Chain A
């Protein structure tokens, strides 16, 4: 019991106690929903913006949204290994059907925005998705 309580306190500090629904992410980024329209009530607590999948794999955090300009199937695979359930494709990249089908089979949410990576990350950060104090959770 005691252990669980401690974990909960840490968790809320780690997230600044503030999550963001994917519906809000969609609105803030003026994004189109490519996969998972019915799953937009999911909440994320942090975002990770990267075009390097190995860097993403080095970043283990719970309930994050991945923003990337890469649109190949390995992005979905990487997300799958990390238990990442939401991906935003930036810069208006065209996504192929096989990638979307793979994402659907993993019950993910895929959003697409015209914003470049830097702006998309900045918009989410300035709207409260800061992931503050995350270093306290490291290791």
Chain B
């Protein structure tokens, strides 16, 4: 099964709507709750990042009996140093984002923690692609 979403970068209150829909579909497919939670958290963190750093983007989700593979693509500013961004506590989020409860430098570490395979590719000025794989 394939699902696609367009994430609006202007509306922070709507961030997470795609993850919510994917979670619902996975539940309907009867996938184990702990697996669903891993997928939902990793995707939600990535979706939030896309909104707060890159003015939105697109998400493609592929669900097979073996795995869930999620590709989040944006055309934002890119990440100059991915290793640094992967460190817990490192954040470039604005004060406004922090006031909303994000930007603690836990987004990418959480994505890594909850996915079985995480791939982040980025080019400064071009955008970032995050690939999340969780085996069912």
Query: Could you tell me which A residues sit within 8 Å of B by CB distance?
Result: 51-55, 57-58, 60, 68, 70, 72-75, 77-78, 80-83, 98
Say whether A78 contacts B44, CB under 8 Å.
yes
Say whether A72 contacts B13, CB under 8 Å.
yes
Chain A proximity of B26: nearest CB distance (Å)? 12
Could you list 26 A-B pairs, sorted by A, with CB under 8 Å?
A: A51-B101, A52-B106, A53-B101, A54-B102, A54-B106, A55-B106, A57-B110, A58-B110, A58-B113, A60-B37, A68-B101, A70-B101, A72-B13, A72-B100, A73-B13, A74-B16, A74-B48, A74-B101, A77-B44, A80-B20, A81-B20, A81-B41, A81-B44, A82-B37, A83-B33, A83-B37
Closest partner residue, chain B, to A50 (CB atom): B101
Say whether A77 contacts B16, CB under 8 Å.
yes
Contacts of A57 in B (CB 8 A): 41, 44-45, 106, 110
Closest partner residue, chain A, to B13 (CB atom): A73
Number of residues from B at the complex interface, CB < 8 A: 25
Say whether B33 contacts A52, CB under 8 Å.
no
Shortest 10 CB-CB distances between A and B: which pairs? Answer: A54-B106, A77-B16, A53-B101, A81-B40, A54-B104, A70-B101, A73-B13, A81-B44, A52-B104, A81-B41
Within 8 A of A (CB), among B1-58: 12-13, 15-16, 19-20, 23, 33, 37, 40-41, 44-45, 48
Within 8 A of A (CB), among B80-123: 100-107, 109-110, 113
